[in-house]
Amino acid sequence: MKIAMVGSGYVGLVSGACFADFGHDVVCIDKDQSKIDRLHEGIMPIYEPGLAELVGSNVKADRLTFTTSLAEGIQGADAIFIAVGTPSRRGDGHADLSFVYAVAKEIGEHLAGDAVVVTKSTVPVGTGDEVERILADSGTSHRFAVVSNPEFLREGAAIGDFKRPDRIVIGAEDDFGREVMREVYRPLFLNESPILFTGRRTSELIKYAANAFLATKITFINEMADLCEKVGADVQDVSRGIGMDNRIGSKFLHAGPGYGGSCFPKDTLALLKTAEDYDSPTRIVEAVVKVNESRKRAMGRKVLDALGGLDAARGKKVALLGLTFKPNTDDMRDSPAIAVAQTLTDAGVTVAAYDPEGMDLARPLMPEVEMVTEPYAAIEGADAVAIVTEWDAFRALDLKRVKDLAKAPVLVDLRNIYRPADMRDIGFAYTSVGRG
Ligand code: NAD
């Protein structure tokens, strides 16, 4: 099969490289010239474990190429995937579909053969209908079908997730769309990955329902963590205790500083907008969005408390370890660390930060924070150390060195990666999440 992938970001590049690895002939298209230039030089524009090797081997095998020209890239393609961004529209939280529609228009203008156009971007219900209208309005004489195929990969584990998905969801309205998609994913049938065919609107909603459900799970355990702190219970054990029940499941029950990243915040907001537009409120998701939003600054206040409160904190220094919204990515979009840092600097605290991959993208988002090149440089002279992202590098800190370098042995662990008893034995004033 020949596949064109329009948009070569986290999703487009990973999906394109994996499709090539399955044996398809893939062209990754992006309008960002510098991204395509870097890919031609073998440099990855994003950090994702294993991606450089996967891209390299498929380029070498002549199955994966890159271009900035959509007109060229979609020539002869059986399936054209749209994998461009759908960020929150400024002001109202609706998904901004301008990139998706711009691509649909360009595809209509340059379609040179029969093809299936697939929205892999996360798009609200009804977007496929609009893409279909745009293609029809282009006056193309070629046969086309518009299919929804949402992506469920996680950054940091994206290649494994793409190659061994829990399920593939395909929303199609006709046999042409369904048959081409079956061919595209045939290599995964061999893995016995379940494939779910639905209507297009249903498929579009599945993606939002999945993300909203996961965001709800995280927010639920975060509120349980707050309650644990008040009643003297341990949220880690509560998570285990409920997660062992198969009806609940153990995943996404880690208490922490609130969800962030490029998907949950914008997708929950977009779902609320859809619900509002159709006059069908989703009140649980409304509460989740509100609770999560206030939690991020509350985590900053937790660090201020560890410094002795708002008044005592002014003029002190905090070392922030971890900035990305989760480990193994450089993605800083909506990371809780942004609000934590902001709460601290608003209170007159000096912040020095270190992140293994995220600092380049973090710098413009937190201009008042000093970025340093290794964790201990941030810790030197700090009145408190705060772990915000659970990178492996922070799981095995040299705690004696931390104590010697810091001005005071105060550690706030927003990811619960250390054991309270151990930390107290070493002599830290240790605060974590939900371990009363
Ligand atoms: P991204 O910002 O990393 O990549 C989008 C790319 O599209 C950019 O490189 C941009 O230059 C390119 N682009 C924009 N307009 C274009 C055009 N007209 N022609 C060609 N290229 C164009 O975004 P992402 O994180 O890969 O997300 C893409 C979509 O996938 C979003 O809808 C997102 O919600 C969804 N998604 C993301 C993830 C994730 O973990 N990042 C997971 C599942 C789904």
Three-state secondary structure string covering 333-365: CCCHHHHHHHHHHHCCCEEEEECCCCHHHHHHH
Classify burial at 164, counting beta carbons within 10 Å of its beta carbon; exposed 0-12, middle 13-18, buried 19 or more.
exposed
254 C-alpha to center of ligand 1: Å? Answer: 27
Q: Is 101 helix (H, G, I), strand (E, B) or coil?
A: helix
pLDDT, residue 138, reads: 96
- Separation of first and last alpha carbons in the chain: 56
CB contact at 8 A, 282 and 275: yes
Residue in 152, 123, 169 with CA at minimum distance from that of residue 273: 123
The closest residue, in CA terms, to atom 20 on ligand 1 is 30
Q: What is the CATH number that goes with domain 2-198? A: 3.40.50.720
Mean per-residue pLDDT for 119-131? 98
pLDDT, residue 391, reads: 97
Q: What is the DSSP letter of 169?
A: E
Whether ligand 1 lies within 6 angstroms of the CB of 66 is answered as no
Whether ligand 1 lies within 6 angstroms of the CB of 39 is answered as no
Same fold, 2-198 and 295-431: yes
Fold of 295-431: Rossmann fold (3.40.50)
Mean per-residue pLDDT for 352-380? 97
pLDDT per residue as tens digits for the range 259-296: 999 999 999 999 999 999 999 999 999 999 999 999 99
* pTM for this prediction: 0.96
Q: Are strands 195-198 and 2-6 parallel, antiparallel or unpaired?
A: unpaired
The domains of the chain are located at 2-198, 295-431
Whether ligand 1 lies within 6 angstroms of the CB of 259 is answered as no
Question: In the structure, what pLDDT confidence band is assigned to residue 79 with cuts at 50, 70 and 90?
Answer: very high
Question: In the structure, what pLDDT confidence band is assigned to residue 334 with cuts at 50, 70 and 90?
Answer: very high
Distance from C-alpha of 29 to C-alpha of 32, rounded to nearest angstrom: 9
pLDDT value at 377 more than 80:
yes
CB atoms within 10 A of CB 36: 19
**Quick one: how far is CA 370 from the chain centroid?**
25
For the chain, percent of residues with pLDDT exceeding 90:
97
Q: Is 119 helix (H, G, I), strand (E, B) or coil?
A: strand
